[in-house]
Amino acid sequence: MLLFALFAGICHAQSQTLDSLKLSTSEIPEGYTEVSIMLNKAYHPVIIYENNDMFSDKLGEIKNKTYQSLKGRGDKGTVFIIELVQPMTDTNWVKPFLYGPSEMRPTAMHPEEFLIHGNFLIIWSFDFNSKIKKISMEKITRILQS
């Protein structure tokens, strides 16, 4: 019984860590709502998120992952939050995979932005001028860099 309680506590702590990176109900501006489906602008972030085996040599072992989709006022998208067991040793593949080898930066077709910090890979799949993306980016950056 004690082992189960310890395991449950660890799992709860992990989900709390990932959940703390999501916008809470009180942080989501009026006119926006959280939805349970992925609203990604391009498919590349979903490939990274869902096909762990395909990227295991690049990502390493995934400890936990989640996403948060938000929509409102003509603005919608998904932030993908991936926690790794260890930091990635090679991060050079991320830009060409998300944007294409000739672009290497966000475009209208691939507007994703990402952050690699410690054991986390965060990918925002929203339009360039997304208000909700900016709010999410500010929160996640502040938490991970504190």
Burial of 20 (0-12, 13-18, 19+ CB in 10 A): exposed
- Here the tokens at position 41 are 């602008």
Number of H helices, E strands in the chain: 5, 5
pTM of the model: 0.88
- Here the tokens at position 12 are 């709860």
pLDDT tens, position by position, 70-89? 999 899 999 999 999 999 98
Determine the structural domain holding residue 88 and report its residue range: 2-144
Length of the chain: 146
pLDDT tens, position by position, 113-135? 999 999 999 999 999 899 999 99
Q: Which of 123, 119, 69 is nearest to 95 (CA)?
A: 123
Lowest mean pLDDT among 6-20, 39-53, 89-103: 6-20
Counting the structural domains of the chain, the total is: 1
Which residue shows structure tokens 């930066």?
105
pLDDT attached to residue 16:
52
Rounded Cα distance between 34 and 20, Å, is 15
- Here the tokens at position 90 are 């090679």
